[in-house]
Amino acid sequence: MAMNLVQKILKAHLVSGELKPGTEIAVSVDQTLTQDATGTMAYLQFEAMGVPRVRTKLSVSYVDHNTLQTSVENTDDHLYLQTIAARYGIYYSKPGNGICHQVHRERFAVPGQIMLGSDSHTPTCGGMGMIAIGAGGLDVAMAMAGAPFFMIMPRVVLVRLTGEPGPWVAAKDVILKLLQMLSVKGGTGKIFEYGGPGIKRFQVPERSTITNMGAELGATTSIFPSDEIVRNCMKHQKRGKDWVEIGPDEDASYDEVIELDLSSLEPMIARPSSPDNVCTVKEVAGTKVNQVCVGSCTNSSYRDLMMLATVLKGKKVPPDLTLTISPGSRQVLELIGRNGALEDLIEAGARVLEPACGPCIGMGQVPSSGGISLRTFNRNFRGRCGTTEADVFLSSVETAAATALTGIICDPRELGKPVKSHGLGKIKINDAFIVPPAKDPDKVEVIRGPNIKELPKRGPLADSIEGEVLLKLGDNISTDHILPAGNQILKFRSNIPAISKFTFMHVDKDFAVRAEEKKGGFIVGGGNYGQGSSREHAALAPMHLGIKAVIAKSFARIHRTNLINTGILPLVFVGESGYDSLDTGDLLRLQDARTALSEDRPVTVLNVTKGKEIGVEHRFTEREAQIVLAGGLLNYQAGKMEGAQ
């Protein structure tokens, strides 16, 4: 039977289930990836399992989110990550080595393998022919311990690219166009597989830009075939022996097909404050900007920075505009340093930052009050840049370059003759900032700073649950809304009691205090609740505050799983009337929660205040129900281990 690319890889890794959309499957995991904002909690969870060594083919721990080390909490956590990596068989990428997705694509990605990463932009490596899936830290910890990854088999969507992109049209414009077409929830329950003759127009860094921002569609992941373009990229990294050719069968079928003619595209831009608020650049051309930021895991490759340097060479940015550049890796920084492009950028007026996530995660370069920032990043949720008082646009590097020159949003086609591609550059392999695991791990002392607190847990699910609606929210609430990032907050990533005080700080500054006073309660949400980052702290912090259930119209995939893994009930409204009938302050009672889940029947939610029953569904698989009943995945796994003894 003919298979598409996704089916081929999943079948080769299938542990249980069948590749039927909507049914639960389990797959073995070859590689894992963590970063410092999510990794500390993931490794605390891994330690709690008592496994002496990681059981994956490869696991890598990156420090790329909070590299400034502006407090001892940050530096202590990084020391913990390094000693944990040495002890348990994990490679450690030091601060300054680069953004996890860029470095992993350069040095570790292998076509045909499955990777799980505790970062929602893990699908970046789909540009190399991997199935790379973002997940919560606990799911990644389970994979490191040798457990399979469970998920609902997604529908496979072929995005068939045809034609040739016009001058100044970039890979970023492809994914922005798809976001315009499909919205931030248009990829829910789907994997996007790119094919057609148009894929030959994009090199691996450009393909990775597209797969990276598939996360903004809500997709499980995105993938390109592993072809000669991938082979050349891997040979360039001196990793040609790891290349395998893999693609769909000629007569493969798909659950859905999207046709996209590249020749019909023009430069696109996402307006504030959502990645799907997309229009053409010419529709907003002339808008004055205060800041242009180039970088992030989406657009920080050698190809991207050479595009910018070539446009700016011999020119100056306006004096009232700030231009920042975040190279994606130390390798990229060394490349532009050796060939003179770094000097061109500095002379043009750019500020060059350390190879790290930086401004994308709210770590520095916060725009001014009322400022307008144009960024080559992947997300522009309100407040993610570090302030709610600024507007953030998202664009390609080409559009950013034109805007940096003029000080206003500018269609890059106004620049005239397009800049030629500079290829992959003449690299020198230097892995000095990647520390391999210790050869004698038993002698390694794992160092824990005083800010690292015990793992938060909750007991088994009670049969009767009661509490107030503490907050009612609308559609597309992101994990940045639930628990923001930034320097003030990220330093507490290994301290749930401390970080929980920032829960919903940009939405309702009194939420954490109210939740503690009320001893927890319920949150009501609209559609696509929990979109965006994979940070499981957005579930752990509410759990610590006593949140018993989130009732929403629909959930984003990763956050729904994180809620289940922490023992919080994600319940879905049946129809619109239930959502409309609830108000903040209403007293709710789940009268038979434990019994209902045990018997696989609907949970009854009573609005005690208004004397009405609310129709909800849990939509759990049998395994998910058992996890919630146990009070979370760690409790569930411990119970399984006890039962096996």
pLDDT greater at residue 150 or residue 66: 150
Phi, psi of 128 (to 5 degrees): -105, 10
Residue 526: CB partners within 8 Å, gap ≥ 6?
Answer: 473, 474, 475, 476, 477, 552, 553, 579
- The answer for residues whose C-beta is within 8 angstroms of residue 135's C-beta and 6 or more apart is 116, 117, 118, 122, 149, 534, 558, 561
Give the pLDDT confidence score for residue 644 in this predicted structure: 56
The predicted-structure confidence for 444-473, as pLDDT tens digits, reads as follows 999 999 999 988 888 999 988 999 999 999
Residues ≥6 apart with Cβ < 8 Å to 580: none
| 134-150 mean pLDDT | 97
CATH T-level fold of 465-644: Aconitase; domain 4 (3.20.19)
Beta-sheet pairing, 291-294 with 372-375: parallel
What is the per-residue pLDDT across 252-286, written as a single tens digit (0 to 9) for each?
Answer: 999 999 999 999 999 999 999 999 999 999 999 99
Q: What DSSP string describes 79-127? A: HHHHHHHHHHT-EEE-TTSB-HHHHHHHHT--TT-EEEESSTTGGGGGG
Instruction: Report the distance separating Cα 640 and Cα 642, nearest Å.
Output: 5
Exposed, middle or buried: residue 517 (CB in 10 Å: 0-12, 13-18, 19+)?
exposed
- Residue 328's CB is within 10 A of a number of other CB atoms, namely 32
Q: Do domains 268-415 and 465-644 have the same CATH topology?
A: no
pLDDT of residue 552: 97
- What does the pLDDT look like over 562-581, one tens digit per residue? 999 999 999 999 988 899 99
| 3-class DSSP state of 145 | coil
Residues in the chain: 645
Superfamily holding 268-415? Aconitase, domain 3 (3.30.499.10)
| Contact criterion met (CB below 8 Å) for 309 and 336 | yes
Alpha helix ranges (H) inside 112-243: 137-144, 171-182, 204-212, 228-236
Higher pLDDT, 200 or 604: 200
Residue 643 has a pLDDT of 61
Average pLDDT for 40-46: 95
Four-CA torsion 588, 592, 596, 599, nearest 10 degrees: 180
State how beta strands 612-614 and 605-607 pair.
Answer: antiparallel
pLDDT of residue 576: 81
How would residue 642 be classed by pLDDT, with cut points 50, 70 and 90? low
Who wins on pLDDT, 79 or 591? 79
- Closest to 559 in 3D by CA, of 622, 625, 626, 479: 479
Nearest to 124 by CA among 362, 403, 357: 357
Q: Is the pLDDT of residue 493 over 80?
A: yes
> Are 375 and 360 in contact, with CB atoms under 8 Å apart?
yes
Which has more confidence, 601 or 435?
435
Query: Alpha helices of 380-425 — where are they, by DSSP H?
Result: 397-406
Residue 463's pLDDT is what?
87
**Banded model confidence at residue 483, pLDDT cuts 50, 70, 90:** very high
Summarised one tens digit per residue, pLDDT across range 311-339 is 999 999 999 999 999 999 999 999 999 99
Average pLDDT over residues 190-196: 98
Separation CA 288–CA 412 (nearest Å): 15
Question: How does DSSP classify residue 153?
Answer: P
Q: How confident is the model at residue 1 (pLDDT cuts 50, 70, 90)?
A: confident
DSSP per residue, 600-618: T-PPPEEETTTTEEE-EE-
pLDDT band at 532 (very low <50, low <70, confident <90, very high): very high
Mean of the per-residue pLDDT values of the chain:
95
Cα 608 to the chain's mean position, in Å?
38
| pLDDT band for position 80 (cuts 50, 70, 90) | very high
Residue the block writes with tokens 């081929």:
8
Q: Is 261 helix (H, G, I), strand (E, B) or coil?
A: strand
In tens, the pLDDT along 335-356 reads 999 999 999 999 999 999 999 9
Instruction: Please give the structure tokens belonging to residue 490.
Output: 């990220």
| pLDDT higher than threshold 60 for residue 96 | yes
Domain range summary for the chain, segments of one domain joined by +: 5-264, 268-415, 465-644
Q: Is the pLDDT of residue 146 over 70?
A: yes
Domain 5-264 listed as CATH 3.90.1150.10: no
Q: What is the pTM of this model?
A: 0.95
Q: Taking the CB of residue 167, how many other CB atoms lie within 10 A of it?
A: 14
- Neighbouring C-alpha atoms within 13 Å toward the C-beta of 28: 14
Radius of gyration of the chain (CA): 24
What distances in angstroms separate CA 355 from CA 64, 300, 327, 328, 373, one per listed residue?
8, 9, 5, 5, 20
> What are the E-state strand segments in 408-526?
434-435, 465-472, 521-525
The number of beta carbons lying within 10 Å of the beta carbon of residue 66 is 29
What pLDDT score does 163 carry? 97
Residue 379: the pLDDT is 95
The percent of residues above 90 in pLDDT, for the chain, comes to: 90
What distance, in Å, lies between the first and last C-alpha atoms of the chain? 42
Residue 241 φ then ψ, to 5°: -65, -20
Per-residue pLDDT, 638: 83
